[in-house]
Amino acid sequence: MAKEKGPFELFALFLREDAPGKWDLVVAAEWIDKNKEASFKYIAGIVQKTLSKEELLKLSRIVLIDERNPALEALHRAMGIEHSIAEIQDSNFFDMQIKHAYLITSRRRDNPAPNKVPKLTQ
């Protein structure tokens, strides 16, 4: 998905305390924020094509996180990772009590063209 649409700021699986045995796919990306409905359909379609029926039954929902969510920045500070796997247990993210999590990507996207401060002339 990242190759086709663009990088993710967050791509993770969360096992919530209140949903035993069911995982949430939690994602954030700039391209998702541009059109959440189309992005959700795209992600759901890829997930359905990629996972087996047994794996799909273990998935509870897809959660789209706004890239401006302050909790996302806190997660990036706690764990920075891209296209790998980090495991977290017994934490709270996005007001969800998480029993177990696998972070595949948690990385803030820097502004590719930082605002330039004009030089002051005398």
Q: What is the pLDDT of residue 52?
A: 95
Q: What is the pLDDT of residue 105?
A: 87
Annotated domain spans of the chain = 7-106
The pLDDT tens digits along the chain (122 residues) read 989 998 999 999 999 988 888 999 999 999 998 999 999 999 999 999 999 999 999 999 999 998 888 888 877 777 777 777 878 888 888 888 889 989 888 887 663 332 333 334 33
Q: Which of 23, 1, 8, 3 is nearest to 82 (CA)?
A: 8
Q: What is the pLDDT of residue 110?
A: 61
Q: What is the pLDDT of residue 75?
A: 79
CA angle 106, 41, 77 (to 5 degrees): 10
The CA distance from 103 to 17, in Å, is: 17
**How, if at all, do strands 59-64 and 86-93 pair?**
unpaired
The CA distance from 48 to 99, in Å, is: 25
